[in-house]
A and B are shown apart, each in its own frame.
Chain A
Amino acid sequence: MAVRLAEEWFTICAGCEVTILDIGEPLLDLLPKLEIVHMPVLMDHKMWGQTGDQPGPEIPEAEVGIISGGIRTEENKEIAEEMRKKCKTLIALGSCACYGGLPALANQFTVDEIYDKVFRGCVSTDSADTPNGVSPFTDRVYALHEVIKVDLKLPGCPTTPDMVAEALTALLEGRPVEFPSKSVCDECPTIREKKAVSNLKRPLESVAFEYGKPLDTVRCFMEQGFLCNGPATRSGCGGAAKTPRCIKAYMPCRGCYGPISDSANPMVDMMGALSTIGLDVKQIPDRAATFNRFSGAGRLRPLPKRS
């Protein structure tokens, strides 16, 4: 008996949906075990009724529901509530659904400021009134759990194929899904000596490493002076291979897996991590947005006006 699955997407880039494809060949074995009842990305089930005569969105009942993307419009909200009603287990897929994700950087600005820039402040755009024949924005970007109850969070920008496959397989087998609450540093192979060897530097030049040598011969990027969000970011981005993915490219972490736990405060954690190794947090421009690049829902708000 196939397990019924419903999927919705809101303020998205589709990267998490492509990640599902990146499960690769095992996906071919997984798909027949699922009966997809609603999934705009995949099939044409119509929420306002196949003949369009329903007053509001309706989604068929499903054992498993998946939602990617944060909430940006009133319609997103309405559909999220319908998903919650119809799905026994609801998964927030990706950091946008879990924490607002990168689009929640917009929470540093009012809705009107965004409209002004986009429709009246772009060099190639013929200035015009804000389009009004389209569905209205919510006052800010919301993470899913701020609007409805979420049973399982699969963070990441995007999340990993390993994480999606493990969650789906566990749900199909009826066993609980658990992911550890560790930091990126816990899975980072670089050498840490709890002391910075340089003042803070922007990543305008390469970290020091030797060509062809493994990462466990490289000094921690933050101790080299390059801001890295690893200490305040949840592990898991490396999938089964563990090594954090941006670190593999000799680039510091920017926090795409979100806070280590729901109660953690990345701002406080990062300030602690920086001062512990002797770095001055005040040297970092745009701190709030830097420490909450992927977790701005409920954590970022419009900037005070400069006069």
Chain B
Amino acid sequence: MGKTLTIQPVTRIEGHARITIQLDDSGNVSDTQVNVLELRGFEKFCVGKPVEEMPRITTRICGVCPWSHHNASAKTTDAVFGVDPAPTGRKLRELCNSIAFMEEHILHFFFLAGADFVLGPDADYKTRNVIGIIAAAPDIARRVVISRHMAAKMLEMIAGKAIHPAAAVPGGFSRPLLEEERKELKKMADELLEFAKFSISFAKESLFPKYLDTIQSLGVLKTGYLGTVKDDGSMDLYDGKLRMMQADGSYEDFDVKNYTDYIGEHVEPWSYLKFPYMKKAGAFSMDLDQPNGIYRTNTLARMNVVDKIDTPLAQAELEEFREKFGRPAQQTLLYNWARLIELLYNAENTIRLLEDPEITSPETRVKVTPRAARGIGSVEAPRGTLIHDYETDENGLITNVNLIVGTTHNNAPINMSVKSAAKDLIKDGKYDQGILNTVEMMIRAHDPCLSCATHTLDGKIGVKVQIVGPEGDVLTTFSNVGR
């Protein structure tokens, strides 16, 4: 009879989760699980709602990336009503999408992952967080706080509301942009571009070099990748075709309308969070030696699937990244590096959209008429490809909803990386505090993807490992956090 190790609670994920590690008789890892304990049931309670309300309802799935849901939902309602949005309305949606990406990438890089790099992975947990950054690097912290807030203020200026907005509507965007607002936004976007340039050069000069060995060796999985590209293969976070890349770099492009031919979702009895997989692989397996159907999303996935980026500064960074790490890059910690390249792309894209003369057109919205239909829409959310799928009756009331949220795609890889670390480190019943740190680092690298609604401000995963005997008695407990 083996033992069960329970790591609980895992912080920095939405709601409550734990890690369960099963040891066999000889004290080696036989299995691991990351148990996710949260469920709200949007697919059920959206039924009966007028479909035009969906962009205002589904935002509440995530308060960190509400714009991703807002835009994905608005695109899906366009499809349900069978309209092309007004060109300016479409551009305003994309503008907000890019600004929201900046807001979130700044938040994530500097206050989550960045805290490890700025303060060091060995820093005391009490200081490795936003308050610690303020104390250790007050000038940078102030600039970070101001820049993130500036992006939020830009969204508020355009849409009236930065979190859980209402402005993206079926057929376009409800509020036209005024010329004086455009001018002010342009100044703010210029500042954010400077901040993006500062961020990536600061990280490349002062943060990443110290950890290059770790980046190259820790958490390297061999998986496929999913992302969105334009017809010419360049990066697009608002619209395009989906690209499913295999671990060997070969890929297939498809229209999101056909997503159920490409993506299945597996359910495990020990987690509320589903496990998407490549349907064409035939089956789902998280077996470390013979995984099947596993792919990842989020920043690293997008760096891998795109052929190029159509803004000059981000393209130069992509070339350097590929030179160093290849395509597809499989090093999990590169998510952070890729995030800064996207910060730069979104700053450039924001300026490009604000310089488009059509952006201030008063025609932002076309009228729509209810009908019985099915519509499918997607965007790239910061955490990955986000798919909404609605069906309506002849009055335009919802009869069916399916959602695959960006973060969910990475459920399997998170579980696999935890298993991989645990198997490597726990041998013959021997384990110590070092395990905790390593398992913790594996999760942290993936954590931004585990729940799109979850971003803690902390740089550290708190982990408790409990060894429970066959009778349920607690034999030993380790923790990385002192009382």
- Residue A11, interface by CB 8 Å: yes
In the complex, A14→B107 CA distance in Å? 13
Mask for A35-47, Cβ within 8 A of B = 1, else 0?
Answer: 0100011111111
Mask for B34-60, Cβ within 8 A of A = 1, else 0?
Answer: 011111110111111110110011001
- Residue B3, interface by CB 8 Å: no
Task: Return B78 CB to nearest CB of chain A, in Å.
Answer: 12
In the complex, A211→B180 CA distance in Å? 13
Check A75 against B175 for contact (C-beta < 8 Å). no
Q: Give the residue of A19, A28, A121, A289 whose beta carbon is less than 8 angstroms from that of B163.
A: A19
- Residue B125, interface by CB 8 Å: yes
Task: Return A238 CB to nearest CB of chain B, in Å.
Answer: 9
A-B contact count, CB below 8 Å? 277
Q: Give the residue of B15, B130, B269, B480 whose beta carbon is less than 8 angstroms from that of A42.
A: B130
Task: Return A261 CB to nearest CB of chain B, in Å.
Answer: 23
Q: List the A side residues contacting B477 at CB < 8 Å.
A: 51-53
Check B152 against A14 for contact (C-beta < 8 Å). no
> Interface stretch among B239-247, B257-265, B342-350?
B257-265
Task: Return B11 CB to nearest CB of chain A, in Å.
Answer: 5
Task: Return A85 CB to nearest CB of chain B, in Å.
Answer: 19
- Number of chain B residues close to chain A: CB under 8 A: 111
- Residue A108, interface by CB 8 Å: yes
- Residue B430, interface by CB 8 Å: no
Q: Give the residue of B14, B145, B362, B479 whose beta carbon is less than 8 angstroms from that of A51.
A: B479
Task: Return B308 CB to nearest CB of chain A, in Å.
Answer: 30
Q: Which residue numbers of B lie inside 8 Å of A, CB to CB?
A: 6, 8-9, 11-12, 14-16, 33, 35-41, 43-50, 52-53, 56-57, 60-64, 66, 107, 125-126, 129-131, 134, 141-142, 145-146, 148-149, 152, 156, 159-167, 169-171, 174-176, 178, 259-260, 263-272, 274, 276, 284, 362, 365, 367-370, 389, 395-397, 400, 402, 404, 453-458, 460-462, 464, 466, 474, 477, 479-483
Q: Give the residue of A11, A103, A135, A249 whose beta carbon is less than 8 angstroms from that of B174.
A: A249
Q: List the A side residues contacting B169 at CB < 8 Å.
A: 203, 251
Check A13 against B453 for contact (C-beta < 8 Å). yes
Check A254 against B56 for contact (C-beta < 8 Å). yes
Question: Which residues of chain A from 185 to 215 have any CB-CB distance to chain B below 8 Å in the complex?
Answer: 202-206, 211-212
Known: A114-B41, A128-B269, A134-B271. A22 touches B152 (CB 8 A): yes
**Which residue from chain B places its CB closest to the CB of A22 in the assembled complex?**
B152
Check A249 against B160 for contact (C-beta < 8 Å). yes
Check A14 against B14 for contact (C-beta < 8 Å). yes
Check A52 against B269 for contact (C-beta < 8 Å). no
Check B166 against A246 for contact (C-beta < 8 Å). yes
Q: Give the residue of B52, B145, B162, B269 whose beta carbon is less than 8 angstroms from that of A203.
A: B52
Check A285 against B50 for contact (C-beta < 8 Å). yes
Check B265 against A42 for contact (C-beta < 8 Å). no
In the complex, A198→B94 CA distance in Å? 33
In the complex, A205→B367 CA distance in Å? 5
Q: List the B side residues contacting A43 at CB < 8 Å.
A: 11, 125-126, 129, 458
**Which residue from chain B places its CB closest to the CB of A101 in the assembled complex?**
B60
Q: List the B side residues contacting A53 at CB < 8 Å.
A: 474, 477
Check B16 against A135 for contact (C-beta < 8 Å). yes
In the complex, A10→B261 CA distance in Å? 35
Check B62 against A250 for contact (C-beta < 8 Å). no
